[in-house]
Amino acid sequence: MKDSELQRKEEKASVYATHPDLFKLLSIKLEMRSQHGLRYIIYANGKWSCTCDFFQERETCSHTMAAKQILTSMPLMGTFNEEIHIDDSN
């Protein structure tokens, strides 16, 4: 049996969950196992970055592209496309 305070918090969380516009993605850090080793993909301050050499040269790479595709397919993330500027020109 749940205590009443915890139950109220769960109810409040359910209400929040129906309003994804209340949330804004500020940053995310992903670890990816590529064929060339571990890559770290970061979204922060409105910009993407990756630890691979290609990203350092071109400011985009297959790792950030894949991360954008995965994240936009997530229901919550799809609402933030404009906020996190998910596009292939970055």
Map out the domains of the chain as residue ranges. Answer: 4-78
User: Quick check: 64 pLDDT over 80?
Assistant: yes
In this prediction, residue 80 carries a pLDDT of 44
Q: Which residue has the tokens 């609402």?
A: 79
In this prediction, residue 84 carries a pLDDT of 44
User: Quick check: 63 pLDDT over 70?
Assistant: yes
Entry field: residues in the chain: 90
Phi/psi for 75 (5° steps) reads -55, -50
In this prediction, residue 21 carries a pLDDT of 84
Secondary structure element (H or E) that encloses residue 44, with its range: strand 37-44
pTM above 0.75, yes or no: no
- Provide the pLDDT confidence category of residue 83 given band limits of 50, 70 and 90: very low
- Provide the pLDDT confidence category of residue 77 given band limits of 50, 70 and 90: low
